[in-house]
Amino acid sequence: MMLTRRRFLQAASGIVALGAGGTAYAVGVEPQMRLVVSQWTVPHVHWPKEMPPLRIVVLTDIHASDPWMPIARIRGIVEHTNALKPDVIVLLGDYVAAIRGYGTTDIPIADWSAELSHLRAPLGVYAVLGNHDWWKDPEGVRGGLEREGIQVLENDTLKLERHGGTVWLGGLGDQLARHGKGGADDLPATLAPAGGDDAPFILLAHEPDIFPQVPDRVTLTLAGHTHGGQVYLPFIGRPIIPSKYGQRFAYGHVIEGGRHLLVSSGLGLSGLPIRFMVPPEIAVVTLTSEQGNA
């Protein structure tokens, strides 16, 4: 389901029904002042028992814009991320603004990418592009990230060496890249470099909708895009999820047939400047063996 202004207004009406206090919180407090760190531990049967856990920090859907995601807030998110001491940092797309009107001003690519250049992790910082990046300026976004030393993976895979072990990291091209005319994703090409190697494989994707096609070979798929619906209403749930699978991949740790997906609710805003009971988050994902080795 695509997130349209009309559909989001339908969801927002539920907040309005809560009164002026609920509306003020949804517009002025939760999206701009709150920031949570969500901790997820993913024990996996194929994670080598001799390999220490891998601590991944996921940042997604930044949607840089004034006043909803200004440079100062991005700087604070970067500082908070570094303080978490991740082994690797992954950026899952949608760096550019996705709100029109409401006093919104786009932040230049050079400005937000300069802030992201301060992210630090011993195994590196890696990125994929999202649908809004493609719809606005894919080459500009890619160039901005790469000029700041952040490697963009687009149907590409690389090998991370850690404590004598290997972890594959693949980045999928965006599935909505051509705005209703097809995506830039190529899952077989992304998986191909790992060949018959049985080392852990982490797949980065902007949209979670690829997950039903992801084979058992992939240890963990990380995604964003849904914003967790941006709105969660008590006794109702998440009225709008921009996914053809609806609530199935809305948010959090999903396990299907032994395959693992983690969907972050992200940081910024799309459609309308509202978040309600879905605060902006930095997601920390710890991959470990089923025994939970320390």
Could you read off the pLDDT of 113-131 as tens digits, one per residue?
A: 999 999 999 999 999 999 9
**How many Å apart are CA 13 and CA 125, to the nearest integer?**
39
User: What confidence tens digit (pLDDT) does each residue in 147-188 have?
Assistant: 999 999 999 999 999 887 899 999 999 999 998 789 999 999
As a whole number of angstroms, the distance between CA 140 and CA 133 comes to 9
Domain boundaries, the chain: 5-289
| Cα distance between residue 214 and residue 203, in whole Å | 9
Identify the residue whose tokens are 């090998």. 159
Largest Cα separation within the chain, whole Å, is 58
Using a cut of 0.95, tell me whether the model's pTM lies above it: no
Which tokens in the block code for residue 232? 């969660």
Identify the weakest region by mean pLDDT among 23-37, 185-199, 265-279.
23-37
Contact 10, 240 (CB under 8 A): yes
- Lowest-confidence range among 17-26, 34-43, 244-253? 17-26
The dihedral of CA 221, 121, 96, 11: what is its sign?
A: positive
When the pLDDT of each residue in the chain is averaged and rounded to a whole number, the result is 91
Backbone angles phi, psi at 255, to 5 degrees: -120, 125
Amino acid at 144: G
**Per-residue confidence at 1, pLDDT binned at 50, 70, 90?**
very low
Architecture of the 5-289 domain: 4-Layer Sandwich (3.60)
| pLDDT in the model for residue 10 | 54
What are the beta bridge partners of residue 168? 159, 201
State yes or no: pLDDT of 2 exceeds 70.
Answer: no
Structure tokens at 26: 């949804």
